[in-house]
Structure 1
Amino acid sequence: MITSPILSPAEAREQIRRGAWTSPTAGMAPGYTQANLAILKKELAYDFLLFCQRNPKPCPVLDVTDAGSAIPRLVAPGADLRTDIPKYRVYKHGELVDEPTDITRYWEDDMVAFLLGCSFTFEQAMIKNDIPVRHIEQNCNVPMYKTSIPCLKAGQFEGPMVVSMRPVPEKDVVRAVQVTTGFPSVHGAPVHIGNPASIGIADIHKPDFGDAVMIKEGEVPVFWACGVTPQAVAMHVKPEIMITHAPGHMFITDCKEERYSIL
C-alpha cells in the first residue's frame, strides 16, 4: 500500500519534481489546497475560462497563468506547472497520447494553464468531523464517473460533468453536505446523493477514472462535481492539444484550506 508522506507544499512539490513521488496526492501536505490542471493554447483560453465561469461546480477557477508562463503566481509563485504534478495526461485531438511525469517537452509559448479547485481539499474537514474517506482508508485513488449531467456550453467547450464519489454512512450524510458546502471554491456541496443510475452511472463498481472503493452496508454513495470534467470535455471537443493532471495526481498549492472555506 502507498501512504502519502506529511510534507509542506514546497517539500511535496520538490519530491514530485525529482520523480520521487508519482502516486496520487490525497492526504499529501495535509491542510493545503490541491488543484486540478488544464492547459490549452491561448486561442482557446477565453472560451475555456467562460466554460469554467458557466460551470463553477466542476470547474472552480483558483488561478490562471499568463500566456507562456508555467508559474501559478497567485497560489504557488515558486512552482512550475510543467514539472510539479506527479503524472500528467496529454490529449491530442481528443485522444490520450501520453502520461508523462514532466511536460516540459510539450510546453509551448502560447499555452495558458488553469488551476481548478479539487475536492481533496475538503477531505481533512470531513475526517475532522468523523466522516470516513474511503479512498484514503484504502490507500487508493478516488473513484470518478462520467455522468448524464450536461455542462453548459461555452464556445467550443461542452460535454458531461464528471463526479467523484465517497461512500458516507447514512447518519453522516447531512453532516457531509454541511461540511463540504463550506468549500464552494473546491466543488462545495454534493451534486447527487444516492442512486447512481439517476445520473447515468451504470455500475458504481466500475469508475471511469480512479479506483473502485468498498461501499459498506448502511452507507450511501455521495457524489461531488469533479475537476476531471475538463478531460471528459477534451475527449468530446478534441482540441489540437490539451494537457491535464492524471486523475488523482493533483497540484499542491501554498494556500491553506481555510482560504477557500466560508465557515
Structure 2
Amino acid sequence: MSIPTSPFEIRQRCRAGQFDAPTPGLAPGFVQANLVVLPYDLAFEFLVFCQRNPKPCPVLDITEVGDPQPKLIAPGADIRTDLPRYRIFRHGEFVEETTDIRPFWRSDLVGFLIGCSFSFENALLDAGLPVRHIEEGKNVPMYETNIDCIPTKRFSAPLVVSMRPLLPNQVVRAVEVTHRYHRTHGSPVHIGSPDAIGIRAIENVDYGDAVTFCEGEVPVFWACGVTTQTAIIRAKPEFAITHAPGHMFVSDLRDEDLTL
C-alpha cells in the first residue's frame, strides 16, 4: 500500500488501522503535532506548564472536555484514532502502546496538540540542508538533557531535544530557517558538545533512532515535544495518553501559518 501524502489521507488511514509508522517527511508543508491527553482536573496546570516552557511545549490547540475533535487545527478529525500510534500511562508508568484510544476514552479527558519540529523540516530541505533521519527512512533521534524546564506544583521535566547532524557551515542557515517557526520549537537550543547538555553518547538515543554522522558534521539540537511525556512520568497522574514518539498528528494547518 502506498504511503499517504495529504493530512486528510494520513488521518483516514490511521483511523482505518492502515498506517502506524513514524511521520517524518509526510505531508510536506503541513504542521504536525504532539498529543497529550489528561483528565480535566490536571488540564489547567498542564497548560501553565506549557506556557512557562513554550520552546518545548508550544500549544496549537486544546480540545473541549470529552470532545476528541481538534477544532482549530483539523476540524472533523478525531484524536482518538487519527494518529499512527499512542502510549497509555497509568500513575506515570508506560503500560502499553496502541493504534486506537477509543477504548480508553473518558468524558473528563482534554487533548493538547503541541507543535512539532517535523513541521520545519520541509523548510530545511527547501534550503538545501540535509535532514538525515528522512534520508535514512528513520524516526528522528531524541535525547533527555540536563536542562530543567520551569516547573509547576505537579509538572516538571528535563528538556528533551531532537537532533539533526549538519556541517558547521550549514548551522547558521539552519538557525535562520527554523527561528521563524516559533510555534513548532523554532531555532536550536544547543549546537555541538552533547556532553554539555548531559548527552554522554550520541549514538544512544532515548527515543527514536540513531542516525549516521558524515565527516565533519556536528549535532544540532532543537527542543522537542516529547518533553511533555517526561513531565507525565514525573507527575504520575492516574491516567494519561500521549502520541508514541515520532508518530505525530498531521493537522490541516500549513507550516507557513505559524511563521513569524
Query: What is the TM-score when the length of structure 1 is the normalising length?
Result: 0.97
Query: Paired residue for 2:8?
Result: 10
Deviation at residue 155 of structure 1 after TM alignment: 2.6
CA contact (8 A) 1:167 1:215 kept: yes
* Match status 1:55 vs 2:63: no
Query: Paired residue for 2:202?
Result: 204
Structure 2, unmatched stretches of 5+, are none
Partner SS, residue 230 of structure 1: helix
Letter in 2 for 1:167: P
Partner SS, residue 99 of structure 1: strand
Q: How does 1:132-147 map to 2 (within 5 A)?
A: 132-147=130-145
CA contact (8 A) 1:210 1:248 kept: yes
CA contact (8 A) 1:143 1:211 kept: yes
Indicate which of 37, 40, 65 corresponds to 1:39: 37
Deviation at residue 6 of structure 1 after TM alignment: 5.1
* Match status 1:70 vs 2:68: yes
Partner SS, residue 70 of structure 1: coil
Letter in 2 for 1:132: P
Deviation at residue 4 of structure 1 after TM alignment: 8.2
Query: Paired residue for 1:243?
Result: 241
Partner SS, residue 166 of structure 2: strand
Deviation at residue 226 of structure 1 after TM alignment: 0.1
CA contact (8 A) 1:133 1:166 kept: yes
CA distance in structure 1 between the aligned counterparts of 2:67 and 2:230, rounded to whole angstroms: 25
CA contact (8 A) 1:4 1:27 kept: no
Letter in 1 for 2:156: E
Deviation at residue 234 of structure 1 after TM alignment: 1.4
Query: Paired residue for 1:218?
Result: 216
CA distance in structure 1 between the aligned counterparts of 2:168 and 2:70, rounded to whole angstroms: 40
CA distance in structure 2 between the aligned counterparts of 1:208 and 1:41, rounded to whole angstroms: 27
Query: Paired residue for 1:160?
Result: 158
Query: Paired residue for 2:117?
Result: 119
State the percentage of identical aligned residues: 55
Letter in 1 for 2:158: P
CA distance in structure 1 between the aligned counterparts of 2:205 and 2:236, rounded to whole angstroms: 22
| Root-mean-square deviation (Å) | 1.1
Structure 1, unmatched stretches of 5+, are none
Extract structure 1 runs of 4+ deviating beyond 3 A: none
Query: What is the TM-score when the length of structure 2 is the normalising length?
Result: 0.98
How many positions carry a matched residue from both structures? 260
Query: Paired residue for 2:181?
Result: 183
